[in-house]
Amino acid sequence: MTALSVNLNKIAVLRNSRGGGEPDVVRAGHACLDAGAHGLTVHPRPDGRHIRADDVIALAALCQARGVEFNIEGNPFAPARTGYPGLHALCREARPAQVTLVPDDDGQLTSDHGFDFFRDGAALQPLVAAFKALGCRVSVFANIGDARIDQAAVIGADRVELYTGPYAQAHTAGHTAQALSATAATARQAQAAGLAVNAGHDLNQRNLPDFLRNVPGVREVSIGHALIGEALYAGLDATVRAYRRIVDART
């Protein structure tokens, strides 16, 4: 089964652009879950540009009450500062089912690459252990085609999340065969190492069906930007239900 986790960051971007509490990220979370999302994802950044620490705690309570998965993404190396207690401190308070470690710089617009496990593996290993000690499943962001992706298992991760931006670009250009082949090979390599496979970034209703048909055993897709953009036209409930039909068709 492929689970659909809806990333709520863009709801918070809209709220923060005006100030105040609208649109309400918790209300949006309820709407997504009511429409069939299997869980919710957030990526709080140290600069507070969208999801904030207080949102994380409120959404953690929502997911716990609804009995669904909460996934917190973030850079485990980013230090704490005013308004941002650090990823581990947030997870210690929120206790998400899953934490996804992502190598984002502070000023980075969006996640656009996975970890270099040769360079970062030794530093990541104790951090992975610290998150697992909180009871979190740990996923690490990884590049398609990374020949060392099996090192994610060596450092203790449970899953990898494949960065699907290059696949989405290939799909837009109409040349998906090579990208799908590379993605499927990377997924199989990770699975052979004992890792489960998640996927995310630039996935949408047009490219997701081909992706799930060709990449084996994807456990979860995390979708935010495209889903919220599509919801501006079709509505949030209808859009989440449309994604559920896609993932359910590949179950």
Q: Which domains does the chain have, with CATH numbers?
A: 3-249 (3.20.20.70)
Is 225 a residue whose pLDDT tops 90? Answer: yes
> Residue 218's beta-bridge partner residues?
197
What is the number of alpha carbons within 13 Å of residue 37 lying toward its C-beta?
A: 29
Helices in 174-224 by DSSP H: which ranges? 177-192, 208-214
Residue 251, pLDDT score: 61
Q: What is the mean pLDDT of residues 54-66?
A: 98
Q: Which of 67-81, 101-115, 194-208 has the lowest mean pLDDT?
A: 101-115
The dihedrals phi and psi of 190, each to the nearest 5 degrees, come to -65, -45
CB 204 within 8 A of CB 169: no
Q: Which one-letter amino acid corresponds to residue 170?
A: A
Q: Give percent of the chain above pLDDT 70.
A: 97
Residues annotated as catalytic are: 43, 73, 201
203-223 pLDDT, tens per residue? Answer: 999 999 999 999 999 999 999
The whole-angstrom separation of Cα 244 and Cα 38 is 9
- Find the mean pLDDT for residues 124-147: 97
Q: Using a pLDDT cut of 90, give the percent of the chain over it.
A: 93
d(CA 187, CA 195): 9
Please tell me the predicted confidence (pLDDT) of residue 112. 66
Asked if 35 and 21 count as a contact pair (C-beta separation under 8 A), the reply is: no
Token pair for residue 90?
């947030």
Q: State the pLDDT at residue 111.
A: 64
| pLDDT above 90 (res 48) | no
d(CA 183, CA 167): 8
- pLDDT tens column, 70-103: 999 999 999 999 999 999 999 999 999 999 999 9
Average pLDDT, rounded, for the chain: 95
pTM: 0.96
Can you tell me whether residue 141 is helix, strand or coil?
strand
Confidence band of 114 (pLDDT split at 50, 70, 90):
confident
CA gap 212, 68 in Å, rounded: 22
pLDDT tens track for 169-193: 999 999 999 999 999 999 999 999 9
What is the rounded CA–CA span in Å between residue 83 and residue 177? 44
Nearest of 235, 173, 160, 162 to residue 199 by alpha carbon: 162
pLDDT beyond 90 at 125: yes
Using CA atoms, how far apart are residues 165 and 201, in angstroms rounded to an integer? 5
